[in-house]
Structure 1
Amino acid sequence: MKTTGEVKNLLQNRELDSTLLDIYLDESRLDYQRQRYIDALTRYEELYGTGEIAIFSAPGRSEIGGNHTDHQHGEVLAASINLDAIAITAPLAEPVVRVVSDGYDMITVSLDDLGVKDELMGTTDSLIRGVLEGIKNHGGKIGGFQAYVTSDVLIGAGLSSSAAFETIIGTIVSGLYNEMKLSPVDIAIIGQYAENVHFGKPSGLMDQMASSVGNLVHIDFADVAHPVIENVSCDLAKYGYSLCITDTKGSHADLTPDYAAVPAEMRAVAAVLGQELLHGITLEQLFSHAAEIREKTGDRAYLRAIHFVTENVRVQEEVAALKAEDFDAFLKTVKASGDSSFKYLQNVYTNHDTTHQNVSVALAVSDAILGSNGVSRVHGGGFAGTIQAFVKNEAVAGYKAALDGVFGEGACDVLMIRKYGGMQVL
């Protein structure tokens, strides 16, 4: 391992530019990334002193297709993006983990006390101990370390900052104590365990999988312990399009019940049909049992079940379109996915606060601005956060100006699909 000072010198002399460009893809942001790493190293020195270090990275993710299907063992199409969490870290001889995230106090976790603590539910502390316990339960080695973590994956913006954090903790332990041999799939499953059991959020596995595995991937969760992962090629530049993500600045406060209701209602419909999950249930079954399902679960649950079944098919259609290099068909299916999320899944705004509909506004503005120059859809879990748009390159400047005009300067960002998931940078 190199010392903090040695890595700073490499960065300042631009000797790591090729590494940074390989990871982040955007040459126009090299100065930003270079300074970001230098600042992180400086902050690490302030916290822990100089010495040998390792650097790890874990990206945020963009869901392309499969909105709220993973928790029912469905299919998704998701991509890692060139926004990430980075960690400057070093191993410790003592059985303790110390982590400082940018702007927050130090968290200290004893390796001798990794059980679930109700009082820590919903905290970063719970995610750290959950990942550590999960690795141990999976037969991996764990050990002490100190780390400074900084992230440009916006918290609460639908890009899965929590999954990036879970992935980076798992990747640190993989690098420091397991020779980077913990598989990305295991790290994702462990991250979901931390979020479900320790943090207390009933998330599916898509976010963690996209962050840990990386690139553009089609994932089938039919066997959730052994998901089938397929890399899918998509060169947006070849088609003359850019991926735009707009943070609508909606608050995620008190939305956990909204998120939790989606899988709960889908499971309720499945139960009427004698199953635990919606996986494997057909539209014909939903239609033939419509009266019973609606009476026992309500109409929203019924509509959400229709969304799941049809969304699974749309994921397959998106993948087929990309493989056939039929980008117009791909865009048509992306738009259909967004329409289904709005009308049937109903995760664009919360019924508990109809006066604030940031995502709805963003979609309406996008439709008006884009016309035939692109498509937009709700992004991620929904209810607040971000929208996603595929925009013709020549229309990006105008689109960005319009969305920034509504939600504030810098709300709309142009991102790229990153080829790496959780990784060791140095």
Structure 2
Amino acid sequence: MDLPALPMSGALSESFAEAFGRAPEGVWHAPGRVNLIGEHTDYNDGLVLPFALPRGVSVAAARRDDGVVEVRSLQAGTAVTASVDGGTVASENWPADREWAAYPVGVARVLREHGTGGASLLIDSDLPQGAGLSSSAALECATALALCDLHGVEIGRPALARLAQRAENEQVGMPCGLMDQSASLLCTPGRALMLDCRSGLSTQVPFDPAASGMVLLVVDTRASHALTGGDYGRRRAECEEAASLLGVDALRDVKDLGAALAALRDPVLRRRVQHVVTENHRVEAAVGLLRAGALPELGAMLNASHLSLRDQFEVSWPEADATVDAAVRAGARGGRMVGGGFGGSAIVLAPAARARQVRDSITAAYARRGWTPPEFLEAPPSQGAHRVA
């Protein structure tokens, strides 16, 4: 079942007027993302290949001149008021019902250094929380665009992505890489974004499943994840330790995988290195397939990525494994978990003619295990963040 459509910007503007007693000065939208391939490579200075979803986060906003950001959400039902000149949100021990607001407040505090100020913000989203579709980055990027426009601050999108990443790293305390914010800000319709996370340089790569008679399904496994927990940070620390032991700045710099594995005593670190190095190669192979018009052959890359994430990086979860297995058995070309892991979503690449059988097979696999039924979303590559009103 598809998720509900994003409300019209006019409806969000009306809700803003009801909440704040004045009309907004604009409405901005930033999409969620799916990473086609290249998982846990971003914070290793590696390569990723995300594309934007047709769903995301919208922010209606109006400028304030008192140095305060007031944030409300149609989903959370709570209002948060904070100074843009405060310290880090992560150090302030906000209660659980306010944690969602750390993302827009954090962005406001980082952008304050570049000339923005206070604002009233009303947030709406049609991205499922905890599904691994980067709702947090979408919130950051919609907020960043709104604040820059409201206060007349011009920041190039690659630089704005790094500032949004910094807000999540420093303000929220989540050690994410650059991919999610870059995807939300830089992606274009009908394209995937080949992003070099070290240089920040990117290239648009043709990606049109429908033109090849294929469909890419996003499967929300309904197993929620929270990447601010310890597992994600532990994986990043393991990669950094391995890079240090190998004498390289980041695992992206490992050129001879066999020699690197032989040099590491710790089997856990060997597994982490093997995933990162081979995943970067899979991104390059995937780009070659897309440019050659060989989209169906991408399925093998997706399967290999999933096995590596499951066995080498150890971040998959039972619902994701069952999703990929059931999809391939029903005729899909391939699939893999997406996002940081430990819950969230998977993607499945299938011939359009077999999409119904693939959905039914996955749903039946969940039913046999007594799991909550999954949610399905067809995901055509869509427009990046923009002002809509």
Do these two structures clear the TM 0.5 threshold for a shared fold by scoring above it? yes
- Structure 1 residue aligned with 2:337: 378
Whether 2:254 is the aligned partner of 1:290: answer: no
Shift of 1:38: 4.5
Equivalent-residue separation in structure 1 for 2:24 and 2:31 (angstroms): 24
Structure-2 residue corresponding to 1:412: 376
Displacement of 1:51:
2.6
Map of 1:392 onto structure 2? 351
- Rounded Cα–Cα distance in structure 2 between residues aligned with 1:402 and 1:135: 47
Query: Among 143, 147, 159, which residue is 1:173 paired with?
Result: 147
- CA distance in 2 between counterparts of 1:163 and 1:32 reads 19
Comparing 378-387 and 361-370, the one that deviates more: 361-370
**2:40 paired with 1:68:** yes
Partner of 1:330: 298
Q: Which residue of 2 aligns with 1:148?
A: 122
Aligned to 1:425: 388
1:6 equivalent in structure 2: none
Amino acid corresponding to residue 126 of structure 1 in structure 2? A
Aligned to 2:234: 261
Q: Give the match for residue 107 of structure 2.
A: 131
SS in 2 for 1:383: coil
Equivalence for 2:196 = 220
Query: Match of 2:333, as an amino acid?
Result: G
**Inter-partner Cα distance in structure 1 for 2:73 and 2:132:** 19
Cα displacement (A) at 1:253: 5.0
Task: Supply the distance in 2 between the matched residues of 1:408 and 1:397 (Cα, whole angstroms).
Answer: 19
Counterpart position of 1:367: 328
Number of residue pairs matched by the alignment: 376
Superposed CA deviations along residues 251-287 of structure 1, whole A, max 9, x for unmatched, are 32587211112111111111111224212112x3x42
Contact kept in structure 2, 1:114 and 1:132, CA below 8 Å: no
Letter in 2 for 1:131: V
Q: 1:342: which partner in 2?
A: 310
Are residue 103 (structure 1) and residue 75 (structure 2) matched?
yes
1:158 aligns with 2:132: yes
User: Structure 1: which 5+ residue stretches go unaligned?
Assistant: 1-27, 350-356
Q: Is the 8 A contact 1:58 1:85 kept in 2?
A: yes
Q: Does 2:43 align with 1:79?
A: no
Task: Tell me how far apart the structure 1 counterparts of residues 197 and 278 of structure 2 sit (CA, whole Å).
Answer: 16
Note closer, same or farther for the CA distance 1:141–1:293 as it changes in structure 2 (3 Å cut). same
Q: Answer yes or no: is the 8 Å Cα contact 1:359–1:383 preserved in 2.
A: no
Q: How many Å separate the matches in 2 of 1:416 and 1:239?
A: 13
2:254–2:260: 8 Å Cα contact kept in structure 1? no
Q: Secondary structure at the match of 2:235?
A: helix
Does the C-alpha gap of structure 1 residues 233 and 141 become closer, same or farther in structure 2, counting only changes over 3 Å?
same
Whichever residue aligns with residue 121 of structure 2, its letter is: A
Between 298-307 and 70-79, report the one with greater CA deviation.
298-307
Structure 1 distance, partners of 2:218, 2:277, is 26
1:237 to partner: Cα distance: 1.2
1:239-254 equivalent positions in 2, closer than 5 A = 239-252=212-225
Q: Contact conserved, 1:114 with 1:129, CA < 8 A, in 2?
A: no
One-letter identity of the residue aligned with 2:259: S
Which digits, 9 at most, give the CA deviation of each residue in 1:37-64, with x for residues without a partner? 4542332222112435311000000001
CA contact (8 A) 1:60 1:83 kept: yes
Q: CA deviation at 1:409?
A: 5.5
Partner Cα separation in structure 1 for residue 65 and residue 226 of structure 2: 39
SS of residue matched to 1:163 = helix
Identify the range of structure 1 (267-276 vs 313-322) with the bigger mean alpha-carbon deviation.
Answer: 267-276
Secondary structure of the 1:219 match is strand
| Deviation (angstroms), 1:423 | 0.9
| Segment drifting more, 188-197 vs 407-416 | 407-416
Calculate percent identity across the aligned residue pairs: 26
C-alpha displacement of 1:117: 5.0
Residue 185 of structure 1 deviates from its aligned partner by 1.3
Alpha-carbon distance between aligned partners in 2 of 1:101 and 1:338, rounded to the nearest angstrom: 35
Structure 2: gaps (5+ residues): none
For the 8 Å contact 2:61–2:120, the answer to whether it is kept is yes
Q: Give the direction of change, closer, same or farther, for the CA distance of 1:240–1:164 in structure 2 (3 Å limit).
A: same
Q: Secondary structure at the match of 2:253?
A: coil
Code of the aligned partner of 1:182: I
Q: Distance in 1 between matches of 2:270 and 2:374?
A: 38
